[in-house]
Structure 1
């Protein structure tokens, strides 16, 4: 068995979504997350959320890469939640549209995803591995 080596991908630094109406996106995500953006400049807002204060940036669609395809697609970023059903229902109640229904992927892994009102795919996941990593970090660095 080989010894594990550090990955060149060390963790999420920022997830960037695009919105043609940045003011509406700011309001929608502030209402959904229950916090205001911690950083704002013209054309960009950023939230810090979750156990590790990951960054969710929303960029004015005018700055989207020229090669970016219209509509949802590409990858799905899943945010860990404790209750996928409740998170999914909250997203739908806020006006998001179902992209993929709730699916049990295996023991300890459940996912669902939506398209936000601005065309971005937002995934939610109950992830046993995430909880194990969080527990290990918390044990090493108690609050």
Structure 2
């Protein structure tokens, strides 16, 4: 069911500052920036041999009560690691049937991008995602 890592998402109160810090750390600029009201609300870098995605999202978009969002407990940060799947809804339902609980129901993030996440029976957040960029990387590698 899990086909490969697609995106690791971190959250930040100041996405522009986080973008600059990670650009300095990684030595590359983000290839994708989505602004909201002029300021970046989400940025994404491609890194590593397989061009995995590191995303930084405005903390206001974190699932309430999780990942240290402003409306939750305020403790710590966190990351949601998304694994590429062919059908997000089917994968989400299967995870729930195996005892996971809802973290975030499926959400279309844009054309070709759908995410969902669950909390596994051990307290870990597991993300599943249909990601057209992942499929493009596979196609370019002849896979």
What TM-score comes out, normalization by structure 1 length?
A: 0.48
Q: Which structure is higher in strand share?
A: 2
